[in-house]
Amino acid sequence: MKRYTGTRGWFLFYFFACLLVLSAGRDSKLMKYETNSSSVYNHTLAMIMVEYASAVYISDMTSLFTWTCTRCRGLTEGFEVVQLIVDVESCLQSFVGVAKDPRAIIIAFRGTRGTSIQNWIEDLFWKQLDLDYPGMEGAKVHSGFYRAYHCTTIRPAILNAVKTAKEVYGDLDTIVTGHSMGGAIAAFCALDLIVNHNVPNVQVMTFGQPRIGNAVFASYYSKHLPDTIRVTHEHDIVPHLPPYFSIIPRKTYHHFPREVWLQDTSSTSNRLASYIETVCDDSGEDPNCSRSVIGNSIQDHLSYYGVEFPTDDPATCWIVMDPAITEYGSIDSEGNVVLFRDLATPVPRMQSLEAK
């Protein structure tokens, strides 16, 4: 166990010790959902997008690029990957492709990897607003999330893939998704597409996303991307971070709308898991949604709609792939990988790690 020193260290030691107790496992159950009436939230779309947000965690590039992995089935069957990007230096991963249902371009970003999730959460506790968002006076954001999209190999590859997909398939809608840090990057990507590249009809749906900017930024974001859903789950700790301080609303982090809070209402004796989906108000910080509870669960962060997201892997940034698949892209001197598909040519099945 990591040894902490000083007041901050002992506080965190106590906090994470509590997490181990409070985040106890639950039995696998059948699921039933109840949603309060709303025209802004589509439960079926959420069930589809959470599968894409989970699939982007796959380290086997062959099965992901050919869409043959174990997570590449069910509601996402038939998805055609246009581009797969791995920025090894920054431990980031994303894909762009075209879905059959809904008929749209899908962009997905991987969540937190490359460090212990507990260390990452610890950093979020103390992170200050430290970057002025370009072109918007008073808007400040989290520099790490902003730069993860804007200052890596991810952004140019994404823009190229979206352009290619539209040239081949026509002017499809675009849906951007991600879990955890991947949700934060997804938000910056969607805003970039709308504001800087005039891409029409962009939607966002994220899962367990942290706060990324202040109230001015949240207002600016919601003006340009009103079709945004942030799904939170029970006591998931990450949507509570970086902290929101209501006594200094203009200088603190502030979520943009709209949150959908997923609550577990099942009993231990009932094998049918019952969930309520609360569609929250348009403030971004609805006190009757996830802010009404203590965010203290890592387990709730790693499970959405019954879809499990991977926990930390000792080899968090490594990837594997069939050598033949490199003909579809390039690997630069830093080890960053960009695989690009010619949409007129089918990708042949190759030997994947999951098949071994």
Q: What are phi and psi of 168, to 5 degrees?
A: -85, -45
Q: What angle do CA 259, 302, 263 make, to 5 degrees?
A: 45
Q: How far apart are CA 235 and CA 24, in angstroms?
A: 12
Contact 56, 338 (CB under 8 A): no
Q: Tell me what pLDDT residue 272 has.
A: 65
Q: Tell me what pLDDT residue 15 has.
A: 43
Q: How many helices (H) and strands (E) does the chain have?
A: 8, 15
Q: Tell me what pLDDT residue 115 has.
A: 65
Q: What angle do CA 253, 254, 257 make, to 5 degrees?
A: 155
Higher pLDDT, 228 or 35: 228
Angstrom CA distances, 163 to 56, 93, 158, 174, 330, stand at 21, 19, 9, 11, 19
- Alpha-helix runs per DSSP H in the chain: 6-22, 43-55, 61-65, 117-126, 143-150, 154-169, 181-197, 215-224
Residue 344 has pLDDT above 70, yes or no: no
Q: Tell me what pLDDT residue 353 has.
A: 47
Of the listed ranges 182-191, 257-266, 272-281, the one predicted with least confidence: 272-281
Q: Across residues 76-105, what is the average pLDDT?
A: 94
Q: Tell me what pLDDT residue 250 has.
A: 73
Q: Tell me what pLDDT residue 327 has.
A: 78
Of the listed ranges 72-81, 143-152, 248-257, the one predicted with least confidence: 248-257
Higher pLDDT, 174 or 90: 174
Q: Tell me what pLDDT residue 10 has.
A: 40
- pLDDT band at 349, cuts 50/70/90? low
**pLDDT digit string, tens, across residues 89-98:** 888 999 999 9
Q: How far apart are the first and last CA of the chain?
A: 34
Contact 177, 108 (CB under 8 A): yes
Cα torsion angle, 197, 151, 188, 63, sign: positive
Residues whose CB is less than 8 angstroms from the CB of residue 354 and which lie 6 or more positions away in sequence, other chains included: 60, 63, 68, 69, 70
Joined together, the tokens standing for residue 161 give 């893939």
Residue 1 has pLDDT above 50, yes or no: no
Angstrom CA distances, 6 to 9, 12, 242, stand at 5, 10, 21
Residue 39 has pLDDT above 80, yes or no: no
**pLDDT digit string, tens, across residues 312-321:** 555 567 777 7
